[in-house]
Amino acid sequence: MVFGKAWTEIANNALVRIGRKKVQTIEDTNQDFDTSLIRDQLKYAVAEVLAVRSWRCMTTQVKLEKLIYTPADYAYRYAVPQDTVRIVKVITAKEGQGYATGSAYIDTDSDTCFINCIRIPDNTSTVPVWMADLFSLNLAAKIALPLSADKSILQLVQQEYAAALTNAMHTDEADMQDTLQDAASLLSGLNRATFARGMEA
């Protein structure tokens, strides 16, 4: 995970939530205790949020690379990217083709393999604001007790995270419904246009 400027902003939002001072950057490994703790916990905080569900806004498709190793029960083994948090769907050359998954690979007889998956992003430029806020809140929950030694702050942040997570799920679901409605409207429009051209002919 590359700790760029955008991740520093997420870290600072977490620090503010627990009453700590902001840091200048989390990119430098030679930092104080606060920054070192953030660097240790940030990836876990982000991965936990992403693993909660198949977030529509964070799902991407990846073509997998074949490995030299040949598994016992299938023709090919494909490497799953290391930053993958959740596999949403495995796509083989033929629909219904069998496969087996491991922690870092997929075995199948298909000569090509894609996955729809959720990965830890390199930066937050494509991450919705509400998702970035979830990252900050979950990070705050992880660093609250070590940095503040105040259980009431931890409980408050945990409550905020739970509420934000519920709202985020509703937002993601609503966005998916909007996308489906847009697709249906587009298909309907194409059908009407095709019908009109047929009548003209």
Give 22-77 pLDDT, tens digit per residue: 988 888 777 788 888 998 999 999 999 999 999 998 999 999 999 999 899 999 99
Q: How far is the C-alpha of 94 from the C-alpha of 149, rounded, in Å?
A: 55
18-37 pLDDT, tens digit per residue, is 999 998 888 877 778 888 89
pTM: 0.81
What's the confidence (pLDDT) of residue 59? 93
Contacts of residue 64, defined as CB under 8 A and 6 or more positions apart, other chains included, come to 78, 79, 80, 106, 113, 114, 115
Q: For a pLDDT cut of 70, what percent of the chain falls above it?
A: 85
Q: How far is the C-alpha of 191 from the C-alpha of 180, rounded, in Å?
A: 16
| 3-class secondary structure, 124 | coil
Q: Which two tokens stand for residue 83?
A: 């930053």
Please spell the DSSP secondary structure of 149-198, one letter per residue.
--HHHHHHHHHHHHHHHHHHHHHHHHHHHHHHHHHHHHHHHHHHHHHHHH
Mean pLDDT of 159-166: 95
Mean pLDDT of 75-93: 95
pLDDT at 182 over 70: no
pLDDT at 148 over 50: yes
Nearest to 185 by CA among 177, 195, 174: 177
Mean pLDDT, the chain, rounded, equals 86
Q: For a pLDDT cut of 90, what percent of the chain falls above it?
A: 66
Q: What length does the chain have? A: 201
Report whether 98 contacts 25 (CB < 8 A): no
Domains of the chain, residue spans:
5-53+123-196, 56-119
Amino acid at 144: A
What's the confidence (pLDDT) of residue 201? 53
What's the confidence (pLDDT) of residue 32? 82
